């Protein structure tokens, strides 16, 4: 979902917050990728990543996507929905 769509549906502050959350999730993922799996730090980082990711996804689904659906129109909405479902299925199997 683009920054401009989030900005138009939620406002600029919320869009910035969403972008900030993405950066935090990226940083946590990098830490996971560089930490030894046997380290207690890895499990702690994983739990934070899981919690933060789920929070971000749930909020986007309930708030951002609802507003964005009205803004982007039926054709683009259908395309976005299909891509989102494919990505969710792909991520669930990884």
Per-residue pLDDT reduced to its tens digit, 24-79: 888 888 988 999 999 989 999 899 888 888 887 777 666 666 666 676 666 666 67
For 73-84, how does the pLDDT look when each residue is reduced to its tens digit (9 = 90+)?
666 666 766 777
Q: Give how many domains the chain has, as a whole number.
A: 1
Q: Which domain holds residue 79?
A: 3-92
Inter-residue contact 19 to 1 (CB < 8 Å):
no
Inter-residue contact 11 to 78 (CB < 8 Å):
no
**Dist CA 68 CA 4 (whole Å):** 10
For 6-17, how does the pLDDT look when each residue is reduced to its tens digit (9 = 90+)?
556 566 777 777
**Dist CA 52 CA 59 (whole Å):** 11
In the block, tokens 């989102």 appear at: 84
Please state, in angstroms and as integers, the Cα–Cα distance from residue 90 to each residue in 83, 85, 86, following that order: 11, 9, 6
Give me 88's structure tokens.
């969710």
């Amino acid at each position: 979902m683009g920054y401009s769509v989030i900005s138009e549906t939620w406002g600029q502050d919320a869009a910035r917050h969403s972008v900030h959350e993405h950066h935090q999730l990226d940083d946590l993922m990098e830490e996971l990728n560089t930490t030894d799996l046997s380290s207690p730090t890895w499990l702690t980082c994983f739990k934070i990543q899981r919690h933060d990711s789920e929070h971000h996804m749930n909020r986007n689904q309930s708030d951002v996507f609802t507003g964005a659906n009205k803004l982007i129109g039926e054709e683009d909405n259908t395309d976005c929905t299909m891509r989102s479902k494919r990505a969710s299925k792909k991520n669930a199997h990884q």
